[in-house]
Structure 1
Amino acid sequence: MTHARPRRSALYMPAANARAIEKARELACDVVILDLEDAVAPDAKETARAQAVEAVRAGGFGAREVVIRVNGLDTPWGRDDLAAAAAAGPDAVLAPKVSGPEDIAAYRAALGGDAELWIMIETCRALFRLDALGAAAAGAGVTAWVIGTNDLAKEMRCRLDAERTPLLGPLSLAVAAARAHGIVVLDGVFNGLEDDAGLERQCDQGAAFGFDGKTLIHPRQIEAANRAFTPAGDEVAWARTIVQAFDSPENAAKGVLRVEGRMVERLHLDEARRLIAVADAIAARG
């Protein structure tokens, strides 16, 4: 069950910074994204690529997923990044600025093999092709979308605060499209490194929208993201009650049940099981 794997916190780490990579092995994030793109200056691209490959091969990240974000195919580094990532074998490769199925096909062809592909949704064109991007995902091994709110806001020329009012429509549509096609979807970053209250509000907002987790730019943001995207104890308890009710032999043929004074349908059962699986996976990490 792909969606049962916790992705509450996905931390970008500049792959040009060897100390940052080493530190990532001890952080409480669920995903480490070794970044070759935005966080790396042009003259450090090759160093970052080599260090990302070395880090993946060395391992030591425990239960954390390790993802390499490559440069775009329209840059001088993109193809070499993809070749190096394919050889290294991270958990996934993250492709930037994907605007349509043709971009997915190009990255898949350049990456080769069957490595998991994650894509950035961060252009205006992508917003009007979300369903097509979702439909193209299964055949290309795309398992997750990452929303690039900074690039999207820049292209839209909108102004963002913690509430992100100009992006509420796009964010909601992105989650709906991802769910329609069974794709994991991660929220964009929060830029205020010292605005703890704003970070908490935005993490809660992302969780309320239905995102699976949030991308982060600093280790100090991990705790807030993990807290917001960890299923609440009462939610997990209710999910277990739903599963137990439908698992009872006398309810095997029933589509609707009355459970503790509430009407529950079988459509709630799959989500209850997913929630329990996520909670159990988080608990297993200690």
Structure 2
Amino acid sequence: MRIIRTALFAPGTNQKVMAKAVASPVDAVLFDLEDSVALDSKALARQMVREAITELHNSTREDKPYVMVRTNAADTGMLEEDIAQIAVAGLDMVFIPKAEQPDDMKKIDQQLESLEKERGLNRIAIGLQIESAIGVYNCYNIIKATSRIQLTSLGTAQDGDLQNDLGCGWSVDGPEMLYARSKVLLDSKAAGNVISIDGVFADLNDEEGLMIESKMSASLGYVGRTIIHPKQIAIVEQAYGITQATLDYYHLIVKEFEAAEQKGVAAITINNKLVDYAMYRQAKRLISTVQ
């Protein structure tokens, strides 16, 4: 799966906003059927999202964003119909909010497999939005429920579901959710090749806060985050990206280490720092994230 630094939410009943999201320079568009859609508009949202996916899929655009759809949660009774309506050519991932139980993921996997065979679709991935204490606790086992799960996202928004469930405070520096962030990231890595992105930063006018929180998140190992407006794109890309100086340094590590390896040497010094296979693998990994 490609690295996703920016995944832009767009309400499924707002055609103008969905079109704007698709046209934005984001890694992924995230059409929403859940919290931004009124209960009596769910059917309309499914139809509009399905049409938006099909239109993008049929376009000749070469730089198409990754396409995700946030469904309604498993316990709402709406999830099965959500998936049935939006599983069309061009959908890359269903993004499941309030993910809590492995059995729910197994049911989604079975439904997707059936729809893929019936409709001749490519394999559709599953993303998890972890928004509760039990979701954090069960994260590893949820991921292991199906190989379709390729992404986790922790619901870190101020006054969001996770903060409410934990009963904790919230701050830009993020110590209140540090354990949850760390556990979801660790479980994602331990359970398989799953990338982790952070949740939304709700204050559109606090660019400094967005940068501070994003840099903290990136330092933990998150590769990007969900966003709610195109104005957040540049800040998030900067916070989660790699500077040219850092990239040059890692290219130097790869070059010098591979040259030394050819001579039978597996431990060298670059800029007064020890470089062995561990550092070489780290350099290769980080370089791969920008290719």
Q: TM-score w.r.t. structure 1 length?
A: 0.89
Q: Does 1:177 align with 2:187?
A: yes
Measured after TM superposition, the shift of residue 234 of structure 1 is 1.6
1:45-102 deviations in whole A, cap 9, x for unaligned? 1111111111111115734111011112322421111112223441111111111322
Aligned to 1:153: 163
Q: Does 1:94 align with 2:95?
A: yes
The 2-side partners of 1:144 and 1:259 are apart by 35
The amino acid of 1:128's aligned partner reads: Y
Q: Does 1:135 align with 2:136?
A: no
The 2-side partners of 1:118 and 1:83 are apart by 17
Aligned to 1:243: 254
The amino acid of 1:140's aligned partner reads: S
Q: Secondary structure at the match of 2:88?
A: helix
The amino acid of 1:182's aligned partner reads: N
Aligned to 2:267: 256
Question: Structure 1 pair 250/154, CA: closer, same or farther in 2 (3 Å)?
Answer: closer
Q: How does 1:46-125 map to 2 (within 5 A)?
A: 46-59=43-56, 60=59, 62-112=63-113, 113=116, 114-125=123-134
Question: Structure 1 pair 104/252, CA: closer, same or farther in 2 (3 Å)?
Answer: farther
Choose which of 143, 158, 163 in structure 1 pairs with 2:173: 163
Choose which of 216, 235, 246 in structure 2 pairs with 1:224: 235
The 1-side partners of 2:260 and 2:64 are apart by 37
The 1-side partners of 2:206 and 2:261 are apart by 53
Question: Structure 1 pair 250/159, CA: closer, same or farther in 2 (3 Å)?
Answer: closer
The 1-side partners of 2:127 and 2:27 are apart by 15
Aligned to 2:5: 8
Q: Secondary structure at the match of 1:279?
A: coil
The 1-side partners of 2:266 and 2:98 are apart by 43
Aligned to 2:206: 195
Measured after TM superposition, the shift of residue 118 of structure 1 is 0.8
Equivalent pairs: percent with the same residue? 28
The 2-side partners of 1:241 and 1:232 are apart by 14
Question: Structure 1 pair 250/117, CA: closer, same or farther in 2 (3 Å)?
Answer: closer
Please tell me whether the aligned partners of residues 13 and 217 of structure 1 are also in contact (alpha carbons under 8 angstroms).
Answer: yes
The 1-side partners of 2:173 and 2:111 are apart by 38
The amino acid of 2:109's aligned partner reads: R
Please tell me whether the aligned partners of residues 104 and 140 of structure 1 are also in contact (alpha carbons under 8 angstroms).
Answer: no
Q: Does 1:29 align with 2:26?
A: yes
The 1-side partners of 2:85 and 2:147 are apart by 19
1:234-265 deviations in whole A, cap 9, x for unaligned? 21111111211232264475443322321112
The 2-side partners of 1:43 and 1:161 are apart by 35
Gaps of 5+ in 1: 281-286
Q: Secondary structure at the match of 1:240?
A: helix
The 1-side partners of 2:100 and 2:19 are apart by 33
The 2-side partners of 1:147 and 1:271 are apart by 25
Q: Secondary structure at the match of 1:127?
A: helix
Runs of 4+ in 1 over 3 A off after TM superposition: 249-255
Q: TM-score w.r.t. structure 2 length?
A: 0.88
Deviates more, 1:182-191 or 1:159-168: 159-168
Aligned to 1:283: none
Question: Structure 1 pair 23/125, CA: closer, same or farther in 2 (3 Å)?
Answer: same
1:154-186 deviations in whole A, cap 9, x for unaligned? 111222122222101110121122122221001
Question: Structure 1 pair 105/254, CA: closer, same or farther in 2 (3 Å)?
Answer: farther
Aligned to 2:120: none
Please tell me whether the aligned partners of residues 188 and 214 of structure 1 are also in contact (alpha carbons under 8 angstroms).
Answer: yes
Please tell me whether the aligned partners of residues 105 and 140 of structure 1 are also in contact (alpha carbons under 8 angstroms).
Answer: no
Measured after TM superposition, the shift of residue 131 of structure 1 is 2.6
The 1-side partners of 2:50 and 2:264 are apart by 52
